[in-house]
Amino acid sequence: MEKALRGYVNDYCIKCGACIDAAPRCLTMRAGKVVVTRQPETRSLFFDLREAQALCPVNAIVIDVWEVDRRTKPRNTA
């Protein structure tokens, strides 16, 4: 199976904003919660998210390796 990196912010988040400053291309504040807006699909985005993870004072940013089920991948419609 194909593998992909996926990031998310867990419930430990204290909304300090340090992660958003470190990775504005990946993270944003929505409705009072920090959310991952762009998954680390490139090396550059992965390093941005890793830096945000390292700066988080409560370890609320998680990066996991997920198995991608090819049956659920969107097809190119072009």
Which pLDDT does position 78 carry in this prediction?
47
Domain that holds residue 21: 2-68
Residue 56: the pLDDT is 96
Inside any domain, residue 77: no
CATH number of the domain enclosing 46: 3.30.70.20
Residue 76 is assigned to a structural domain of this protein = no
In the prediction, which pLDDT does 68 show? Answer: 75
Residue 75 lies in a domain: no
pLDDT in tens, 34-53: 999 999 999 999 999 999 99
The structural domain count of the chain equals: 1
On the CB side of 2, how many CA atoms lie within 13 Å of its CA? 8
The reported pLDDT for the residue numbered 73 is: 53
What pLDDT, on a 0 to 100 scale, did the predictor assign at position 67?
80
74 within a domain of the structure (yes/no)? no
pLDDT of residue 4: 87
Phi and psi for 45 in degrees, rounded to 5? Answer: -65, -35
Instruction: Say if residues 53 and 61 touch (Cβ distance below 8 Å).
Output: yes
The pLDDT averaged over each successive group of 10 residues in the chain (78 residues) is 87 94 95 93 94 96 83 53
